[in-house]
Amino acid sequence: MNNEIIKHCVSMEDSSLIDLQNNQKIKGYGIFIPHDIHEKRKENCKKAFDYYKRRVNFLENRVAFLESQLGIINEKKEFKNYIWVHFKSQDVFCPELKKQDLARLAYLATFADYNTNELVYKGISLEKKHLSKPMLIDPAVCCQWVKNIVDLKYVTATNCNMYINPRIFNRGSKKQRKGFNSMKLFIDGFCELYESIKPSDHYKIGFLLKLIPFINPILNCLSENITGTIVDHIGGISIDRLSSLAKCSYSQAYRIINDLLDILYGKDNKRVAVVIPMDYKSWDNKIVMLNPELLFGGGLEEYDKAKILFQNSVNKILQGVT
């Protein structure tokens, strides 16, 4: 047996040594290969393993990056899908309309075509006689409501078409009007809220919409200080003042605000509003903050910050913190 050859050979199956000259197994069985080739293959296998490990890490990081980008894209899409609401500063929004009628008008405005402001439902032009179903209200109630908003020129109607007044609501480019401010009403969020509550509760949404001119556009809080940028410094609006603005009694305003704070809507049980600080048993120095996914007046950066502030307040509610 040639020991010099044997020591350089190894079995691939059970590491048995082989006498190459006599072609006899020294121990065990199996196909042998030279030791240096075996070591080379081990080295190559390790390199391949390291390569695929790095490849897996790269792909995992790539997936995480793409998911983060998708989140940003979806958020920007959410931020872009809105209608403009135009109003006079420090003046109640649409004072001629009842609260429930205003809520329904805002919902109707979400059907506006991007270019023409024509009201379209599932690709078909809306007509007055066919509004009850898309508006989710009783036909008799709908008929009176439509007559009212047409008479007040919030909507223009012909036999076959309806158009929302772009001086109040419009999609597309912002319509600049002297003496008017504007906010974004987010279509997905607002429709989700409207469709989640009973028609008999539409007036609660209308109560908030009446107060749009008193929403700080950056902080999304009810306040007569609409230029402040720090929540603790802007001050809230008292119940007395809210009842005066919304033309209802103190007890009605107090009840509506508390009802709004308790409303959970949509599949994720989102909140319409929270109070900062969280303990709202007393209204001294309390500030009502609206969900920015419904209405917002600032840019994307401010929107992101407002969402974080709102969600932090919601989390405190869930944790029982006051």
Condensed to tens digits (0 to 9), the pLDDT of residues 174-232 reads 777 778 899 999 999 999 999 999 999 999 999 999 999 999 999 999 988 888 888 87
Angle between helix 139-151 and 99-109 (nearest 10) = 80
* pLDDT above 80: residue 158: yes
One-letter amino acid for residue 89 of the chain: S
Give the highest mean pLDDT range of 135-139, 246-250, 279-283, 310-314.
135-139
Find tokens 């931020």 and name the residue: 79
The CA distances from residue 60 to 48, 69, 71, 94, in Å, are 18, 14, 17, 53
Contact 229, 241 (CB under 8 A): no
* pLDDT above 90: residue 272: yes
pLDDT classification of 282: cutoffs 50, 70, 90: low
Give the highest mean pLDDT range of 73-82, 96-105, 271-280.
96-105
Contact 96, 88 (CB under 8 A): no
* Tokens of residue 75, six digits: 């958020």
pLDDT of residue 105: 97
Predicted TM-score (pTM) above 0.85? no
* Tokens of residue 83, six digits: 């209608």
Return the C-alpha torsion angle 147, 152, 158, 160, nearest 10.
Answer: -60
Angle at 88 between CA 85 and CA 93, to 5 degrees: 65
Number of Cβ within 10 Å of residue 198's Cβ equals: 8
* pLDDT above 60: residue 107: yes
Which of 44-48, 105-109, 295-299 is predicted least confidently? 44-48
Q: How far does CA 156 lie from the centroid of its chain?
A: 31
Angle between helix 187-196 and 202-210 (nearest 10) = 140
Mean pLDDT of 66-85: 66
pLDDT of residue 322: 47
* pLDDT above 90: residue 73: no
* pLDDT above 90: residue 1: no
pLDDT classification of 239: cutoffs 50, 70, 90: confident
To which H or E segment does residue 81 belong?
none
